[in-house]
């Protein structure tokens, strides 16, 4: 340690904390350093390159929904039904995830409005075990759809996931048809189901409710796909095109309806809900 650092660290009025983590953020897109406060004020979008950073469920809901929304209770499901253990016990992984997250699992549902348009919103949080889809996520998704059916309003789902939760095995995969049934119920009732794909949305989530929206929106640069690029390249033995599995590529090839900047998402969702009839909800 240099003499300067020794003297600086011994001063009583200098807080011994990492200013890199509290004052500055390094953009994962362009690598530039940004004031953390400016980054937050800009909705966690880099003001230089427009890279959209990953955000948690509570932040996402606060950005997109009007004040006064209510959070639905998170479902109680049987934990660790397979008594799964790899390098750690599944129960220990859940405890660690919950220690760093305000919610019990990766899917949070809010009921309220978006610019006055009644809506239920389900948000997947990648920070909770990679947003993986297990029984709790599947049940929370279905509870959100049921609430939209009860309120006769649109259901907006924001996806961010690494796929199915391996620690729950076949039980996690069963959430795919379970969620699909609820989407069909929304469609039968004539209620809009809108999906916002964020970075990253992959695996079993992409293979189920993430790609079943009446309207598919995506944030700029979001990674969206089923299998990883390396797996695909090794399977087809061809070099994948530049930008493959990014939101703009999927939009160009008809799998996404619109790529929308985070600053414009709330107005975009309100417009879609208004156009699709959600304003008639009770």
The domain that holds 255 is classified in CATH as 3.90.226.10
Does residue 42 lie in a domain region?
yes
pLDDT of 151 over the 60 cut: yes
Does residue 86 lie in a domain region?
yes
Rounded distance between C-alpha atoms, residue 215 and residue 193, angstroms: 7
Does residue 204 lie in a domain region?
yes
- Domain end call among 51, 70, 96: 51
CB atoms inside a 10 Å sphere around CB 160: 30
Residue ranges of E strands in 52-106:
70-71
- The mean pLDDT of the chain is 91
> Do 66 and 192 fall into the same domain?
yes
Distances (CA, A) of 37 to 22, 65, 101, 181: 9, 22, 21, 42
Number of domains in the chain: 2
> Do 47 and 155 fall into the same domain?
no
CB 141 within 8 A of CB 179: yes
* pLDDT for 228: 81
> Do 86 and 189 fall into the same domain?
yes
> Do 150 and 248 fall into the same domain?
yes
Q: State yes or no: 142 annotated in a binding site.
A: no
CA-nearest of 263, 260, 269, 202 to 229 is: 202
Residues 116/179/172/72 CA torsion (nearest 10 deg):
30
> Do 47 and 59 fall into the same domain?
no
Rounded distance between C-alpha atoms, residue 53 and residue 60, angstroms: 11
> Do 110 and 129 fall into the same domain?
yes
> Do 38 and 79 fall into the same domain?
no
pLDDT of 4 over the 60 cut: no
pLDDT of 204 over the 60 cut: yes
* pLDDT for 67: 97
Distances (CA, A) of 184 to 52, 146, 205, 275, 279: 31, 12, 16, 20, 21
Rounded distance between C-alpha atoms, residue 32 and residue 258, angstroms: 28
Does residue 282 lie in a domain region?
no
* pLDDT for 5: 53
Give the mean pLDDT of 91-114.
97
Specify the residue for token string 């934990």: 79
> Do 47 and 154 fall into the same domain?
no
Q: State yes or no: 153 annotated in a binding site.
A: no
> Do 198 and 117 fall into the same domain?
yes
CB 175 within 8 A of CB 134: yes
* pLDDT for 90: 97
Dig out the tokens for 114 from the structure. 């978006």
Q: 195 lies in which domain range?
A: 55-276
Does residue 1 lie in a domain region?
no
Does residue 3 lie in a domain region?
no
> Do 40 and 75 fall into the same domain?
no
Does residue 13 lie in a domain region?
no
> Do 69 and 32 fall into the same domain?
no
Does residue 184 lie in a domain region?
yes
Identify the three-state secondary structure at position 88.
Answer: coil
pLDDT of 280 over the 50 cut: no
pLDDT of 279 over the 50 cut: no
> Do 25 and 158 fall into the same domain?
no
């Amino acid at each position: 340690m240099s003499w300067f650092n020794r003297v600086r660290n011994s001063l009583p009025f200098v807080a011994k904390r990492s200013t890199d983590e509290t004052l500055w953020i390094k953009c994962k897109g362009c690598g530039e350093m940004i004031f953390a406060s400016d980054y937050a004020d800009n909705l966690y979008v880099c003001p230089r390159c427009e890279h959209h950073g990953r955000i948690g469920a509570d932040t996402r809901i606060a950005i997109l929904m009007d004040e006064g929304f209510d959070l639905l209770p998170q479902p109680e499901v049987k934990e660790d039904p397979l008594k799964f253990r790899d390098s750690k016990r599944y129960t220990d992984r859940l405890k660690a995830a919950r220690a760093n997250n305000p919610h019990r699992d990766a899917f949070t549902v809010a009921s309220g409005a978006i610019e006055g348009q009644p809506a239920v919103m389900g948000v997947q949080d990648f920070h909770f075990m990679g947003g993986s889809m297990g029984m709790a996520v599947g049940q929370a998704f279905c509870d959100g759809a049921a609430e939209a059916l009860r309120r006769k309003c649109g259901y907006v789902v924001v996806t961010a996931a690494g796929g199915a939760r391996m620690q729950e095995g076949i039980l996690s995969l069963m959430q795919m048809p379970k969620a699909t049934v609820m989407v069909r119920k929304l469609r039968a009732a004539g209620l809009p189901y809108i999906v916002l794909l964020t970075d990253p949305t992959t695996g079993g989530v992409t293979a189920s409710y993430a790609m079943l929206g009446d309207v598919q929106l995506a944030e700029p640069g979001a990674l969206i796909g089923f299998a990883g690029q390396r797996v695909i390249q090794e399977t087809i033995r061809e070099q994948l095109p530049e930008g493959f599995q990014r939101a703009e590529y999927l939009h160009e090839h008809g799998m996404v309806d619109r790529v929308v900047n985070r600053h414009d998402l709330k107005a975009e969702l309100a417009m879609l809900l208004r156009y699709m009839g959600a304003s008639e909800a009770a």
